[in-house]
Structure 1
Amino acid sequence: MMKNKRTIILTSVLCMLPEILSLILYKRLPEQIAVHWNSAGEIDGYLPKAMAAFGMPFVFLLINLFTNISLLYDPRREGQPKALRAIVNWLIPLTSLILIPATLFMSIGIKIPITSLTFSIVGIVFIVIGNYLPKSKRNYMMGVRIPWTFHDSDNWNKTNRIAGHMMVAGGFVILVSGYLQVNAVLHGVSLIFIITVLIVVIPFFYSFFLYKKERDKK
């Protein structure tokens, strides 16, 4: 338990490290800072510089605390794969350390391929999580957590296996899209969004199909 609390403290500190860069660059920052880009790399969201420079790290901090505390006090924590739990523990602080500095540097004129960077990060995260997802047992924080998977361990295992394979495959597609810097938009819809919807919807109906098939046997 003490080790886990140290992890929460350390990851929280890492989430706030970009504050140092914000202090260094603050006078050079424009009054409005771009903080969101669409899949075509076009800016579609701004924040006042004080909020972007000092508020965003706090947002990552709050998400990190919520995630880590939820993982730590999950009543079925023993079902969480240690490797996957470690990935989730460190995902938010690492994202904060990458995306916030990139956002600040871009605001002062340094060119960074933000779309490619985002797609690469999301692709890698999907691949890594998808690789460990089939190893998870029933728990309240990780995996495809719907009524039918909780109802039956075999349903849980099969559903999370297919979801994990889909995440790995989808992650590779997203990663390649980011690496090749292609315009990953299909009829105005982000490739990341499309793949995420498929990863959510297909395992959902697959799990229901398994549940219904098993119930019809009785």
Structure 2
Amino acid sequence: MKENKWLKEILLILAMAMPFLVYVLLRADLPATIPSHYSISREGKWVVDSYMEPLGLVLALFASTVFTYLCMSIPLIPFLLNEKSRKEAGRITPFLYGFKVVTVVFLSGIPVYEMLVASGKIPAGKGVLWGYISGIIVLVLLNVFLYRLFSSLYKSSEEKPLSRKPYVIIWAGTHLVLSIGPVCIMLAGGGFNMARLTPQLILVFLAVCGNLMYNVRPNYFFGIRTPWTLKNETVWRKTHRVGGVVLFMAGTLGFMLSWLVSQEQLHYLMLSVILASSLITCGYSYYIYKKIIQQTPDL
């Protein structure tokens, strides 16, 4: 029997609408404001550091959920892809959909949980034990997903994006960087502050990826995937050569500067490095593509 792909998307859309339904049902029992952001104290407890009106929280997270949903859906729209890209997209569709489900359910579940707690329908989870349990669950699920994604994509690819060794290095680095958040949750109870270490590890990871980027062969799921690199192999190759240098220099310079700035400034430094390197590589891929198109109009 043919799989109904639209039904799966409708279920996700219904999940995104769930917070609005909960708000309507609980509106009479909700206080004027509910928690909208948490941080973790040195004792490992969740601490509320900002509040919002219930409807404001629902709308803010709904916007984030819709944006995430579109970012994960648009790259898989068939008419936006060439034949080779459609074939590559078919391999990652199950994993991307699974990640999309987890993200949509998580973001939609936050306002639902906060409204249920604020209205007294369920008890709030507090204390060190809650932080450890949630951190362990997220850490395990995240790494299982990443392991299956990286291993399956490499085995199923007819043309390997990288040789085995650099692929494994980036694979392991991805596990490390994305595991930082859950580890922070678990270590916070012991008074260990990873607020400075986290951005520094991300900057080092960018430098490592940049050093390996020139080896990446054209593929749909790994590397600098802009509409222009995916359409032309020459654009892909030139973009990755320049992009590798940009990422390596940006990550290295950012890591060196990270020791000179305050903890608060460090987060802005990390975001600036990521944004600047992304804009440069994307802009360069567009420039090279237009230049090649002008030289070969029939392309």
Q: TM-score, normalised by structure 1?
A: 0.66
> 1:197 corresponds to which letter in structure 2?
L
The verdict on how the C-alpha distance between 1:88 and 1:158 changes in structure 2, with shifts beyond 3 A counting, is: same
Aligned with residue 271 of structure 2, among 189, 193, 207: 193
| 1:172 equivalent in alignment to 2:252 | yes
Aligned with residue 123 of structure 1, among 203, 219, 236: 203
Q: Deviations over 1:14-53 (max 9, x none)?
A: xxxxxxxxxxxxxxx744379xxxxxxxxxxx98425434
> 2:142 corresponds to which letter in structure 1?
F
In 1, Cα distance between the equivalents of 2:245 and 2:219? 19
1:94 alignment counterpart = 176
Number of equivalent positions? 175
Q: Alignment partner of 1:120: what SS?
A: helix
Q: Deviations over 1:52-90 (max 9, x none)?
A: 343222342244235314532553542323333112321
> 1:32 corresponds to which letter in structure 2?
W
Relative contact order, higher structure (CA 8 A, sep 6+) = 1
| 1:155–1:210 contact (8 Å) kept in structure 2 | yes
| 1:118–1:178 contact (8 Å) kept in structure 2 | no
In 1, Cα distance between the equivalents of 2:175 and 2:295? 48
The verdict on how the C-alpha distance between 1:121 and 1:156 changes in structure 2, with shifts beyond 3 A counting, is: same
| 1:75–1:140 contact (8 Å) kept in structure 2 | no
Aligned with residue 291 of structure 2, among 191, 194, 213: 213
Structure 2 unmatched ranges of 5 or more: 1-42, 49-124
Which one has the largest radius of gyration?
2
Q: TM-score, normalised by structure 2?
A: 0.50
In 2, Cα distance between the equivalents of 1:84 and 1:210? 26
The verdict on how the C-alpha distance between 1:101 and 1:207 changes in structure 2, with shifts beyond 3 A counting, is: closer
| 1:67–1:89 contact (8 Å) kept in structure 2 | no
Task: Give how far 1:100 is off.
Answer: 4.4
The verdict on how the C-alpha distance between 1:33 and 1:129 changes in structure 2, with shifts beyond 3 A counting, is: farther
* Percent of aligned pairs sharing the same letter: 18
| 1:80–1:142 contact (8 Å) kept in structure 2 | no
1:11 alignment counterpart = none
Moved more, 177-186 or 145-154: 177-186
| 1:123–1:174 contact (8 Å) kept in structure 2 | yes
Note the aligned Cα RMSD (angstroms). 3.1
Stretches of 4+ moved more than 4 A in 1? 95-102
